[in-house]
Amino acid sequence: MSEEKFRVESDLLGELKVPINAYYGVQTQRGINNYHISRKKMRDYPDYVVAIAYVKLAAVQTNHSLGVINDEISGAISQACQEIIDGKFHEDFPIDMMQGGAGTSVNMNANEVIANRALEIMGHKKGEYQYCYPNDHVNCGQSTNDVYPTTIRLALIRMNKSLVASLTGLISALRYKGEEFKDVLKMGRTQLQDAVPMTAGQEFNAYANNLEEEILNLERNIKLLHEINMGGTAIGTGLNAVPGFAKLCAANLSKLTGEPFVSAIDLVEATPDTGAYVSFSGALKRLAVKLSKICNDFRLMASGPRCGLNEINLPPKAPGSSIMPGKVNPVIPEVTNQVCFKVIGNDATVTFAAEAGQLELNVMEPVITECLFESLWWLHNAIDTLTEECVLGITVNKERCYEMVKNSIGIVTALNPYIGYKNSTKVAKEALETNRSVYDIVLEKGLLTKEELDEALDPKNMLASHKFIK
């Protein structure tokens, strides 16, 4: 490329060429040159870019109110931040998600983009930093060590809303199937052995209720992310921030985003603290564990079709084999399982990274960020896929389910209150050894009359608590 396609900027380490049309500057360029790790860029997560623009907007509003930055510069920086919030200039956030420096490259990327756009707004050229400097103006009263964690927290809060929306959709789909299958009698199982009868509707409603708890758990943990350390600057002492910055900045960020941010009581404590990330990651892991278990159940219930349980049918999505004609695999539950494994692994990484903090800062926040963003994004996509491509299309094999109930030894459990556990055991053993039905053996032994037996084995008396007569 010819020289005119670059401009030259300088920093502590010397001069460096930057693409002439880029809004980022020299420190971002160093980040681009240094980190080729994850193939994931900051711009791949729009909520991340929007979050740091909100943080910078709150900061400049705070500095303007406190008389630190004049009207012209404050107005230009504010406009630049708002444009980023509105979706512009996201391509100028090319920093790799995995990096050293505890997020300095991310903070400087934002400082430089905002400063150069502000320069344009004021009628200057990119790089004419004497009029608006990334560090002195955009980063005024701040440090990477308070901007970066605050940005992460806001981004997680925003991304969690998308996850909860997806989860709500899955829960609704499961409840829809619960209503559709409410009259389908089937065998419940414990330890993969026949237990007692239930309905397929009860099973699907249980899945819905099980996941409903996870919305509450996510919301409990997201509240921990509302405590921020803006104004703490480098280590929490507030050096280079004017008095009143911390609380006013938290208030401004709350007003801008609609989120109830509060300034941490002890900014020195809050600066290296990653406990909220550990808790939130744990909530994502808990959701993943439950979701994976449900997918395991779907795969078991759909196993067959001739030589398995064959209780439900999953929508066929792809031929299942390159060698076995007619085979169709449960690919949607399978991919969801794998996403859940990734989330569980990410949680382990978050835990190790949180533990690795030293003294007044945790420099491992970039990997914490990458893991949490990945878990949120993957879960959101997997849940949408599971809902739309699997759950809504599930059908049940009613006759197959009922046949297994009739032939099950498990229904003898319903007779315990009438004939006693000892007699029920004898009946179950004989049924197993002779391959005869529980029903016939009970009548043959005269343990109950036909009317009494029919009443005891009526589905309505096996699906919930009820009174019985000995």
Which residues does 416 contact at the CB level (< 8 Å), separation at least 6?
424
3-state helix, strand, coil in the chain (%, to 5): 60, 10, 30
Backbone angles phi, psi at 304, to 5 degrees: 135, -130
What are the φ/ψ torsions at residue 41 (nearest 5 degrees)? Answer: -110, 160
Phi, psi of 184 (to 5 degrees): -95, 110
Beta bridge partners, 19, equal 6
Task: In whole angstroms, give the CA distance from residue 136 to residue 292.
Answer: 49
DSSP-derived letter for residue 328 is B
Closest by alpha carbon to 68, among 146, 137, 126?
A: 137
Given a contact cutoff of 8 angstroms between Cβ atoms, the answer to whether 85 and 57 are in contact is: yes
Q: What angle do CA 96, 254, 145 make, to 5 degrees?
A: 40
Phi and psi (nearest 5°) for 132? -160, 110
∠ CA 401-405-406 to the nearest 5 degrees? 120
**CA distance linking residue 177 with residue 175, whole number of Å:** 5
Residue type, 260: P
Do 77 and 122 contact (CB within 8 A), yes or no? no
Distance between CA atoms of residues 453 and 443, nearest Å = 8
**Could you tell me the two tokens for 43?**
């711009």
From the candidates 105, 254, 321, 408, which is the catalytic residue? 321
Residue 321 is a catalytic residue: yes
> Which strand (E) or helix (H) includes residue 455?
helix 450-456
DSSP character at residue 240: T
- C-alpha separations of 133 from 114, 139, 296, 309, 401 in Å: 10, 9, 56, 68, 71
CA distance 2 to 366: 35
Query: Mind telling me the catalytic residues?
Result: 321
